[in-house]
């Protein structure tokens, strides 16, 4: 009988757990229905249709993260730009006025362009001179090598001449 008693107790425990689970389910369903009525969804079908699959949810979370990173980068750039602007305004050149006219700016720009053209021309001339100097140095080095070869050849001929001359007259 002890086995039957044990099984009866187990059955009672399972029935109690079943009743508790059913009550918990009813309570959860009631809470869900209340929340559903307070939501923007008309019914449970509309709610289920709005649910996303795992892949879509993952893609949206990645997109959210990317957008958040871009927002942070943009905010950092805005902050840096504001700091740079403040620094420029605080360290303005002495002759610069806030009431400069468009004509004055255009005149300054034209002068700057003229200086740029002059500097570019001067730079081209200097580059040409440097190239000519490099070419001259290369030619000079070639001539020095030829002179060294000729000197060696003259010394060799002189040595041979002294050997031959001492044999002929000796």
DSSP string, 38-83: HSS-SSHHHHHHH---HHHHHHHHHHHHHHHHHHHHHHHHHHHHHH
Over the stretch 30-82, which tens digit does the pLDDT of each residue have?
998 898 888 888 888 887 777 878 888 788 889 899 999 998 898 998 888 88
Distance (Å, rounded) from C-alpha 16 to C-alpha 29? Answer: 20
Domain count of the fold of the chain: 2
Choose the most confident range, by mean pLDDT, from 4-18, 58-72, 137-151. 137-151
In a domain, 126, yes or no: yes
Contact yes or no for 35/42 (Cβ under 8 A) = no
In a domain, 39, yes or no: yes
In a domain, 33, yes or no: yes
Contact yes or no for 89/81 (Cβ under 8 A) = no
In a domain, 58, yes or no: no
Task: Specify the pLDDT at position 23.
Answer: 92
Given pLDDT bands bounded at 50, 70 and 90, which one contains residue 107? very high
In a domain, 53, yes or no: no
Among the candidates 33, 48, 63, a domain finishes at 48
Per cent of the chain over pLDDT 90 is: 36
In a domain, 78, yes or no: no
In a domain, 79, yes or no: no
**Nearest of 25, 24, 22, 50 to residue 36 by alpha carbon:** 50
In a domain, 145, yes or no: yes
Task: Specify the pLDDT at position 140.
Answer: 96
Residue 170 pLDDT more than 60? no
Task: Specify the pLDDT at position 97.
Answer: 66
Task: Specify the pLDDT at position 32.
Answer: 87
102-124 average pLDDT score: 93
Domain that holds residue 26: 1-48
Task: Specify the pLDDT at position 168.
Answer: 62
């Amino acid at each position: 009988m002890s086995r039957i008693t044990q099984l009866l107790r187990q059955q009672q425990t399972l029935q109690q757990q079943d009743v508790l689970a059913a009550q918990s389910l009813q309570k959860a369903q009631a809470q869900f229905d209340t929340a559903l009525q307070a939501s923007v969804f008309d019914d449970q079908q509309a709610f289920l249709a709005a649910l996303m699959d795992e892949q879509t949810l993952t893609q949206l979370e990645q997109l959210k993260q990317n957008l958040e990173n871009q927002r942070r980068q943009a905010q950092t750039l805005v902050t840096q730009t504001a700091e740079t602007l403040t620094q420029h305004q605080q360290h303005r050149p002495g002759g610069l006025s806030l009431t400069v006219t468009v004509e004055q700016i255009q005149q300054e720009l034209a002068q700057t362009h003229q200086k740029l053209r002059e500097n570019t021309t001067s730079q081209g001339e200097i580059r040409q001179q440097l190239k000519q100097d490099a070419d001259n140095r290369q030619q000079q080095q070639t001539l020095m090598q030829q002179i060294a070869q000729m000197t060696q050849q003259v010394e060799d001929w002189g040595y041979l001449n002294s050997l031959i001359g001492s044999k002929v007259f000796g």
